[in-house]
Structure 1
Amino acid sequence: MDTELARTFLTIAETGSFVAASERLHVTQSTVSARIRRLEEWLGAGMFVRERNGSTLTPAGRRFLRHAALLTRVAEQARREIRESLEARTLLTIGARPGLWEDFLCRWLGEFAPRVPDVRVRALMGHEEAIVQAIVEGEADAGILYVPSPRPSLAIEFLFEEVLVLVSTAPPGGNWSAPGYVDVDWGPHFLAWRSRMHPQLDAPAITVNTGWLGLTHLLAHGGCGYFPRRLLRRYLAEGRIHCVAGAPTFRLPAYLCHATAGGTTVLTEALEAIRDAARGIEDVDA
């Protein structure tokens, strides 16, 4: 099957409109319609219900959604790998949660990339499930994650501990929780701990799934929340936030994950450089 059909299908599903899909794909609406007709003929089922205010997936379309995403991902991976093999340059793909890229892995990347000029480094940002799946499927070489899911083909090693501290934009000595608690999803262990230590925060008005988003909101609009100490030093020094006196800290382990077999010399060198960078964090937080 032509992967362009699957890509067009995914674009309509995302935008909810044949017109919007044609604009995003830079083709005519008739081209989009023709592609979907070809797809429906090939699958033997209708994919969309077209209405005046947009298009919605049929039951068959919803079932095809996962397969379409897989088809386009595999096709893109194949195209990328073939192109890179022709360029005769090694590709190294490293993935991590957004907060782990901030400061830590961005600094590692800036130091490591110049040392390996014949290597193309590809940086991925995502959450545990997506990064682990990318490693298992061979789309990523390694990942740095907080709560990785064990897999038979996945090596998981402790890297360092984040120290999560409670900070607030309220003046020191004031009501630190008055600006409102920004709840960051640091994983189930943190949630259970926070509920036990701060039961008054169990009904937060704002919940986010990445630390940088929570911290950005807190700095812009005020609030309180738990964040990695390594990301707070600048804002503490500027007086924009304050540590809540007497508040307990939470230690969140970060893990280095990679495939158990098939490692290259470049990957080995990269992993050791990541371990060295992590030791620097432990020295600062000690």
Structure 2
Amino acid sequence: MDVFKVYNKESHFKRAQELLKSDSEADHVYACLELRLCIEAIVYQTLLHGMKSIPKNIIEKWQPPQALEMLTKIDQFAEGKLTVSVNLSNSLAPPVNGWILLGERKMPTVKWLKKNYQALGNYLHLRQPSKVSTPRKTTAKEKANSIAKGLEDLISGNLLMCTKNSDIKISSCLFSPDCEGEFFFNAATIKSGDEITCHECRSTFIAKKENEITSFSSKIYDIECSSCKKMLEVEDSKIKSLEGFTCKYCQSKHLIRVDYSVALSKDS
């Protein structure tokens, strides 16, 4: 199966470019859609190429930002650009000349993808009644042109790579028997101290590697008891579940409160 034909990133990008030449705002909205399809094609090419090696949870993610973020947990080269060349030299020292380019793997970073995939999606819906009287600070054409510049170099990527299946390990979430999530890691590259997150409950676990055996423990926070002022070790799972905790020294009970704040989006 030719994944480059199944997910033709070039065709979506070219259609977006043509639509952006128009003076019609409706065409600019469709350009945003084509750029989102282009982004999906770039990520899905990698997923389709490595379908037999990549965990099912990643393959089934329909939104590229989440899929790529999960992929980076097992593949250190999942994001960014990578050039692969070979050399036929028999010298033991690294040769300077004679390198043959095999191809370039060009993927967006997770940070760029999250920001811009969502930004394009904002133009694919009608404005909410509370915002309809306020014009957007950035037009669909301006936003699409800006994101297209970032995509332009990624289009020429012609190499797909994936981690060997034997290196990918999957573990059930350690947070709670009720959590049906999993986390996965690359056994060949994981190091002690690396953090792994369950895709379902978002609990964080710390890796410990000894004699090629990897184990995990819950992330621990040092928190001062508000009553006796002694330091307590509180598991990450208790923080995220808002479960609360009791001081083991003075038995004071602590509640966990989540504070929310908002800021005005630049795309408003």
**TM bucket by the smaller chain?**
under 0.3
Q: Name the structure, 1 or 2, with higher relative contact order (CA <8 Å, separation 6+).
A: 1
Relative to total residues, which structure has the larger helix share, 1 or 2?
1
TM-score w.r.t. the length of structure 1 is 0.24
